[in-house]
Amino acid sequence: MSGIDSVEDVVAVVFLLAGAFLCLTAGLGLLRFPDVLARMHAGTKPQVLGVLLVMVGGAIRLNGWSATWMLLLVAAFQLLTAPVSAHMISRVAYRRRHVRRDLLLVDELRTGETQDRVRRGDEPADAPPEEPAQALVESRREDDGGAFGQES
């Protein structure tokens, strides 16, 4: 059991390495993507595929069916749960306006025409605004339904 002995082992190693690489890119995406919604893409697709590949590699390498069944369950639950959690997080992020609107080509979900000038969309939920007085005025304007420049 030392080293790579057979074709089976080579295949397993290729699967494991590819899966690990995809999980690495998922982590990179979390760091590099600009906002929550884009990060959720990284957290679902390469991540799920990476876990699946690692499971396949493990199933080839491990002996005995009982381990394989367990890996199958892990894969199934990964496929079922990753989209749900990503959806819940994106929904909350959108509603709390953690969206980089300047990077959106189209936003058909948007209801009002108000410009969101207080938040850029990539700060933490409870981050204090950079200029509190300015931000307070802006958010009051947004609460008034976007009546810009009506108070003077």
Q: Which residues form the interface with another protein (CB under 8 A)?
A: 21-22, 25-26, 28-29, 32-34, 37-38, 40-42, 44-46, 48-50, 52, 64-67, 69-70, 72-73, 79-80, 82-84, 86-87, 90-91, 94, 99, 101-110, 113
On whether the CB atoms of residues 23 and 46 are closer than 8 A, the answer is yes
| Cβ at position 78, least distance to another protein in Å | 10
Based on CB atoms, which residue is closest to another protein, 12 or 99? 99
Q: Would you give the DSSP letter of residue 103?
A: G
Cβ neighbors of 62 (< 8 A, separation 6 or more) are: 68, 71
CA distance 141 to 152: 12
Based on CB atoms, which residue is closest to another protein, 49 or 137? 49
User: Based on C-alpha coordinates, what's the Rg of the chain?
Assistant: 23
| Cβ at position 64, least distance to another protein in Å | 8
Mapping DSSP to helix (H, G, I), strand (E, B) and coil, where does residue 34 land?
coil
| Cβ at position 121, least distance to another protein in Å | 11
Cα 118 to the chain's mean position, in Å? 24
| Cβ at position 33, least distance to another protein in Å | 7
